[in-house]
Structure 1
Amino acid sequence: MLTVEKSGPIAVVTLNRPEAMNALSKALRAALHTVMFELDADPAISVVVLTGAGERAFTAGLDLKELGSDPKAMSAANDQGADSNPVRAIEVCRKPVIGAINGVAITGGFELALACDVLIASENARFADTHARVGIMPGWGLSQKLSRLIGIYRAKELSLTGNFIDAATAEAWGLVNRVVPASELMPTALKLAADMASIPVETLSFYKSLIDEGYGRSFNKGLEIEHKRSSAHNRDVTPESVEARRAAIQARARTQ
């Protein structure tokens, strides 16, 4: 139900339940946590690409059949442990996670997409928050994240109607980085991953955490965090290392 393919410093993690629209069953959520924990600890991996099997769905969110058959399963919508909450499972990974959104990302699947650091969407991708229609309130962060990403009015439109938006609208609203033809989704995501992986993984992880830590705070507090953490980091940077990287940057600029 979950596959992992490694190619050099890049790992592709695929939610592999296409017959169930890659719904996030209890077993799949546990497997995702295990895999993300292992990739975080793997020194050979710098960047992770997360996608879904098939063209229909990135993921349809929690497995509603499972929820409907087991009263205890209902608590999954509010679980905070990384072994059950897929958003926390993604956050376990200190390395960049690129979401390659191949199809619909619905409700909990929408929340999982928002846990990624960068989103590349296929032209087949669509997004919907159907929590209200299902009668379950979001517990993995969507009610707070979405309004901060696309504005409170657009967020309310999506969440209070349960309507879908297509990939082009998602791009126009700033929800995804870019939209590409379905055939170009993985090549585009892998090219972006390779660009990131050309930077030392320690630097990637530090910068990702710096952005994330400040984003959840006020602007002034974010500036304080940046100053404190970057000052400590930059004291250990040597002129020799800067010169070596400057030369590499110049060489890369000539090829772009």
Structure 2
Amino acid sequence: MTTPRTKNPVPSWLSTPYPSVSHSIISFPRPHVLLVTINRPSHMNCLPVEATIELGALWSWYDSEPALRCAVFTGAGTRAFCAGMDLKQRLDIINTNDVALDYPRGGFGGMSNRTGKKPIVVACNGHAHGGGFEIVLNADVIFASPNASFRLPEVLRGVAALAGALPRCMMLFGNHRTMDLCLSGRVLSVEEAVQWGLVKEIVPQEKLVSRALDYASDIAALCPDSVIISRLGAREAWETGVSRATIRGQELYADGMLKSKNAEEGLAAYREKRDPKWYPSHL
């Protein structure tokens, strides 16, 4: 097993150790906030199969760790957030007839088909192409640098974007914009991405991660149970459709939120005109 790579010491407030990773840097720069940085800048932060498996395990751990409430995902360097799959490795797998290791249930990068419990904010520090774009499409909130761009270049490579991007593009952008992207393989500029509602803000490169961390800290300061359930209630429509999402949201609210100590604390704090002191979420 490789040694975990950290930028900061592991905080004592974590209840469980995080999985070992060798292709990313893990740090905890703010209270209750996880920062994950893909650390392959010389390869445009593309991900081999092993890196995707690592990230799948890491996001599962993040969801189960009560002390963590929001995560930020970014890439090392200033050129690329993630250029997608390591295509050289993929070609080797095809040429040698090796069987690739199975991707985690969350899909590429552990994220392209992730549902999860807790929010992940992307600080897109450059190109997000192929699988990198598929990760971004399933993130909860996206900040991007001025040089960021988004692309599904699979038609140029003899493959297809089957890790979650196509249906998500259709839901986000509609038929004609999706067809424009996936049939031409063209680059979607960061300015277009803002116009299309994908990117929340364009932030200067040197301030990008800090801005995303500030935003994550704002989320982490809120009731963790409310954040989890609000996110799941909204995402249910993404997965199942509006009518089912309405019913499921009510089930989650009744069975989860009102039975938690945080519901009592939040309502008591409102009555007593004080700031609430949230408990870790065990949903």
The TM-score bracket by the shorter chain reads 0.7 to 0.9
Of 100-109 and 239-248, the range deviating more from structure 2: 239-248
- The equivalences for 1:97-246 within 5 A come to 97-233=120-256, 235-236=258-259, 241-245=266-270
Give the deviation of 1:188 after TM superposition: 1.1
Q: 1:6 aligns with which of 22, 25, 28?
A: 28
8 Å Cα contact 2:75-2:124 kept in structure 1: yes
Of 65-74 and 109-118, the range deviating more from structure 2: 65-74
- Residues 194, 205 of structure 1: alpha-carbon distance in 2 compared, 3 angstrom cutoff: same
Percent identical pairs in the alignment equals: 28
- Residues 223, 183 of structure 1: alpha-carbon distance in 2 compared, 3 angstrom cutoff: same
Question: What corresponds to 1:86 in structure 2?
Answer: 109
Give the deviation of 1:207 after TM superposition: 1.8
Question: What corresponds to 1:254 in structure 2?
Answer: none
Q: 1:24 aligns with which of 36, 40, 47?
A: 47
- Residues 2, 217 of structure 1: alpha-carbon distance in 2 compared, 3 angstrom cutoff: same
TM-score by length of 2: 0.79
The residue identity in structure 2 corresponding to 1:244 is A
Give the deviation of 1:231 after TM superposition: 3.5
8 Å Cα contact 2:128-2:151 kept in structure 1: yes
Of 88-97 and 126-135, the range deviating more from structure 2: 88-97
Any idea what SS the aligned residue of 1:157 has? helix
TM-score by length of 1: 0.87
Any idea what SS the aligned residue of 1:44 has? coil
Any idea what SS the aligned residue of 2:118 has? coil
Structure 1: where are the runs of 5+ without partners?
251-256
Give the deviation of 1:161 after TM superposition: 0.7
Any idea what SS the aligned residue of 1:127 has? strand
Any idea what SS the aligned residue of 1:216 has? helix
RMSD of aligned Cα (Å): 2.5
The count of aligned residue pairs is 248
